[in-house]
Chain A
Amino acid sequence: MKFNKKLKTIFLDRDSKEFNIVGKVNIVLSPTLYWVKKLSLPVKYARDAKKLLPSIFEDSVPEGTYSYSVYKSGEHFIAFAYEDKKILNLLTQKGIKNSQIANLYFAQTELNTLETIYKVDKEQVVCVQNDIVILLPSVLFAQSKRLDMSEIKHSKHRVTLTQFGHIVDKKSLYKITAILIAFIALVAIELFITQQKVQTVTMKQEELFSKYKLKSTMFQNRSMLKKYNTIHTKQMKIRIYISAILGLRLQKEYKLTQLTLKNKMLVATFSGITQGKESRITRALQKRKIAFKPSFKNNLFKVEMAL
């Protein structure tokens, strides 16, 4: 719930004493804290005039990092140049925290309707001259009344201080932000595209499973492939070995009497071969690079080929 409570207003000047503030306050900045110009410009709107301010103030203000503001007053523009950093430092020096500031105003916007001269402290008076609010030494106006800040009706011209404007100027900040956002956008688009690709490949993989009627896990499928590869290798060897055995050119008295395939072993048994005469068979098998184990038993020559 927002309470419509009137806040205290203080006048901030370089010579102000340290404040002891409770709650929030409105602050009116002394004319010593900003540069002001009453201008006649060939533009219609304040936003157009604002673009011209850096060049207008360029030669009349000391070197520094300035912020600018402007508003239209009748046929003229009232333009301001101020150093955020200096005002912020002064606020800190005077014991005012950022969180305690409700609104900041220029004296120019708040006191430009003063009809007489008022004291703001022991040494200074404030008055309006040629529509510009200025500070003068109080010695010249000893009889002037004290300015009652509580009677000020605040304008809508609030001051916005850019706390870190001295670190990075606004243009650079916008550029850096734009570049970072552009990078983020690019990376985000790339991320989106990549995730879409992941989804597409995953879907294609699922299609493979249904198209080829694969088992649910790759472990099962690999295991099945291994099993069938083993069968295929074994069957190929069987055919190569049997072809080699049946293709042997045996002498008339040599006979192939038995061919047995069992338990990963193909055994060819020959009769009519005396020990030492088997070289023709063994040479033929060696030539075809078939690993075998020859043996003689009961006048039978056996060739065992592991599959």
Chain B
Amino acid sequence: MNRLNPLHIGVLLIVVLLFISSKLVESKNQLLEVKISYQETQKVAIELSDLKKVYADKKRLKKSLYKILQLSSLRSANIVKTTKKSEIILSSKSMEKKALNSLLGKILNANFNIKILKIKKLSDKKASLYMEIKW
């Protein structure tokens, strides 16, 4: 005898359908979450990568700074360069106003992380300088 109740089959299929549907909803929500997470990761990654290139690329920053210091306008400025693990200190007890303008112009137009800056006017043509650049 066929003892299968069609209602039981129907209920079973509906239960299966509901179960899979709930899994689908769960999965869709998961997809939405991972998409949001991916977009956020992408945004953070790109921004972080760009900022790191600007402020944490020690090799590039060093190269760029040394290039500035080798400018002919700064050769006579008596700039003392002290390099430490995570920073470089530039100092001059007395330097020409013209040289100072040149140095500041170059450094401020580049992306150095200036931590400390002290410029003191000594006379109409001379000034002292102390600058700490971090990387």
The interface of chain A, by Cβ under 8 A from chain B, is 98, 101, 104, 160-164, 167-168, 173, 176-177, 180-181, 183-184, 187-188, 190-191, 194-195, 197-198, 201-202, 204-205, 208-209, 211-212, 214, 218, 221-222, 224-225, 228-229, 231-232, 235, 238-239, 242-243, 246, 255-262
Q: In this complex, what residue of A is CB-closest to B56?
A: A228
Cβ contact within 8 Å between B114 and A180: no
B interface residues, how many (CB within 8 angstroms) = 51
- The answer for the CA separation of A101 and B2 in the assembled complex, in Å, is 11
Cβ–Cβ contact A191 & B27, under 8 A: yes
Residues 33 to 80 of chain B near chain A (Cβ within 8 Å): 34-35, 37-38, 40-42, 44-49, 51-52, 54-56
| Contact of A260 with B118 in the complex, beta carbons under 8 Å | yes
Q: Name the distance in Å between A21's Cβ and chain B's nearest Cβ.
A: 15
28 contacts across the A-B interface (CB closer than 8 A): A98-B1, A160-B1, A162-B2, A164-B5, A164-B6, A164-B7, A173-B9, A177-B10, A187-B17, A187-B24, A191-B23, A191-B27, A201-B34, A209-B45, A212-B45, A214-B44, A225-B48, A225-B51, A228-B51, A229-B47, A231-B51, A231-B55, A235-B113, A242-B108, A256-B121, A257-B120, A259-B119, A260-B119
Residues of chain B with a CB closer than 8 A to A239's CB: 108
**Contact (A228, B48) CB under 8 Å given A198-B30, A258-B121:** yes
Q: Could you tell me if A197 and B31 are in contact, using CB atoms closer than 8 angstroms?
A: yes
Residue of A nearest to B42 (CB): A208
Check A232 against B40 for contact (C-beta < 8 Å): no
Determine if A177 and B13 form an interchain contact, defined as CB atoms under 8 angstroms apart: yes
Is there an interface contact between B2 and A258, defined as CB atoms closer than 8 Å? no
Q: If the complex has contacts A198-B27, A232-B54, A258-B120, are A187 and B20 also in contact, measured as CB distance less than 8 A? A: yes
Residues of chain B with a CB closer than 8 A to A231's CB: 51, 55, 113
Q: Residues of B contacting A218 with CB < 8 Å? A: 37, 40-41, 44
Q: Shortest beta-carbon distance, A204 to chain B, in Å?
A: 6
Residues of B within 8 A of A (CB): 1-7, 9-10, 13-14, 16-17, 20-21, 23-24, 27-28, 30-31, 34-35, 37-38, 40-42, 44-49, 51-52, 54-56, 104, 108, 111-114, 116-121
Report the minimal beta-carbon distance from B28 to chain A, rounded to whole angstroms: 6
B24 close to A229 (CB less than 8 A): no
Q: A218-B40, A242-B108 in contact; A168/B27 too (CB < 8 A)? A: no
Q: What chain B residues lie within 8 Å of A224 (beta carbons)? A: 48
Q: What's the Cα separation between A161 and B51 when bound, in Å?
A: 78
Residues on the B chain within 8 Å of A181, using CB: 13
Contact of B44 among A164, A222, A232, A242 (CB under 8 A): A222
**In the complex, what's the smallest C-beta–C-beta distance from A207 to chain B, in angstroms?**
10
Establish whether residues B108 and A243, one from each chain, have CB atoms under 8 Å apart when the complex forms.
yes
A164-B7, A167-B7, A191-B23 known; A204 vs B38 contact (CB < 8 Å): yes
Partner of A214, one of B4, B31, B45: B45
Q: Is the CB of B27 within 8 A of A163?
A: no
